[in-house]
Amino acid sequence: MPDTQALVNDFLNKLKKRKIEGSQATAKQTAELLRSVISQTRMPYTNQAAALIHSVKAVGERLVAANPVELAVGNVVRRVLHIIREEDLSLTTAAMAGLNLSAESDDEDDTDRDNHPALSAAAIASASRSTLRPPSLQTLLEDVPDSAAVPHTSSSGGDSEGKSKSADKSSRSRKLKHDVIEAVNELIQDISTCRELIAEQAVEHIHQNEVILTLGSSRTVLEFLCAAKEKKRSFRVFVAEGAPRYQGHLLAKELVTRGLQTTLITDSAVFAMISRVNMVIVGAHAVMANGGVIAPVGLNMVALAAQKHAVPFVVLAGSHKVRT
């Protein structure tokens, strides 16, 4: 297994030198790196979730600083931190449910109730309040007062209880890391297939003989339009060139290669053409929590023209571009 620090340094070098092209590839490699960090993090006896959060935050801050312009890195780091807290809360809730069931079982047995008192209401309330104070959720059971513990009369029984608690904590630690890694694997899979999943919805938005307007170049938009073409939809595409980088030339060339009716127009011609357009479909660098979009230069002009003429405006973006 490669050393985590070496992996982090190698990825930092790629980010600083802009060797990774596209937000999807950047997001996927970020998630894979964080998965390695989580896998190799040594779990303490207590506060396992806090240890994972600390490790991910430490690496995440360095990644974001290496290339602040690539917003997908920060988005993935926040998603992974949310996954850790969510999985820890899930395990803690399950443990609390087990404690409550045990207490109810003791109440039903008169003999056991005399020898093994159930958890007090104060203990359960204290544990419940602890669930609202992340990231130390994993320590919830350890905050239960000693008076709630089951007493044992023999020393051998006490040793057995200690071993049982130690094994239980070790098991919860492994379970937390396993669940987090599984959730991160699902995130990586989601990032890898986002374009295909978005393209599957093309036929629901693009209809026969429509006119589509787009600006600049976006791989997601390209796959979306080509998916509609493969479903035997006949439509025309106007591509604004997207000055000053003129990425629209690349998209227009690719669309023509794939057999779509494409017309390249200047950015200044957008307002003149918008009345003939049925829908505007564009990509984005990031989608903000308030619904705003960070997009290529010139897209604000297109959005204002679409608003003026009441033309539907569709933004295509994978979940790794959503800023939470």
Three-class SS string for 244-304?
A: CCCCHHHHHHHHHHCCCEEEEECHHHHHHHHHHCCEEEEECCEECCCCCEECCCCHHHHHH
Dist CA 282 CA 295 (whole Å): 9
Domains in the chain: ranges and CATH: 1-99+171-196 (1.20.120.420), 206-321 (3.40.50.10470)
Residue 254 CB partners (closer than 8 Å, separation 6+): 222
Residuewise pLDDT in 10s, the chain (324 residues): 568 889 999 999 999 988 898 899 999 999 999 999 999 988 887 788 999 999 999 999 999 999 998 999 999 999 999 999 999 998 888 878 776 666 555 555 555 545 544 444 444 444 444 444 444 333 433 443 443 333 444 445 555 555 555 555 566 667 889 999 999 999 999 999 999 999 999 999 999 999 999 998 999 999 999 999 998 889 999 999 998 889 999 999 999 999 999 999 999 999 999 999 999 999 999 998 888 899 888 899 999 999 999 999 999 999 899 887
Residue 265 CB partners (closer than 8 Å, separation 6+): 238, 239, 240, 241, 273
Using a CB cutoff of 8 Å and minimum separation of 24, what contacts does 263-266 make? 263/236, 263/237, 263/238, 263/239, 264/239, 265/238, 265/239, 265/240, 265/241, 266/240, 266/241
Within the chain, residue ranges assigned H as helices are 4-16, 23-40, 48-66, 71-108, 110-115, 121-130, 155-192, 194-199, 202-205, 219-230, 248-257, 270-273, 299-308
The tokens for 87 are: 């999985």
Interstrand relation of 261-265 and 236-240 (parallel, antiparallel or unpaired): parallel
Q: What's the pLDDT score for residue 130?
A: 46
Q: What's the pLDDT score for residue 209?
A: 93
Length of the chain, please?
324
Q: What's the pLDDT score for residue 99?
A: 67
Dist CA 127 CA 161 (whole Å): 20
Centre a 10 Å sphere on the Cβ of residue 139 and count the other Cβ atoms it contains. 16
Q: What's the pLDDT score for residue 159?
A: 56
Q: What's the pLDDT score for residue 113?
A: 46
Q: What's the pLDDT score for residue 126?
A: 47
Q: 3-class SS at 315?
A: strand
Asked if 242 contacts 268 with a C-beta cutoff of 8 angstroms, the reply is no
Q: What's the pLDDT score for residue 48?
A: 87
Asked if 198 contacts 190 with a C-beta cutoff of 8 angstroms, the reply is no
Asked if 80 contacts 56 with a C-beta cutoff of 8 angstroms, the reply is yes
Q: What's the pLDDT score for residue 4?
A: 85
Interstrand relation of 293-294 and 286-287 (parallel, antiparallel or unpaired): antiparallel
Q: What's the pLDDT score for residue 2?
A: 65
Q: How far is CA 224 from the centre of its chain?
A: 22
Dist CA 45 CA 223 (whole Å): 48
Dist CA 248 CA 266 (whole Å): 9
Q: Which of 61, 49, 67 is nearest to 13 (CA)?
A: 67
Asked if 212 contacts 235 with a C-beta cutoff of 8 angstroms, the reply is yes
| Cis peptide upstream of residue 135 (ω within 30 degrees of 0) | yes
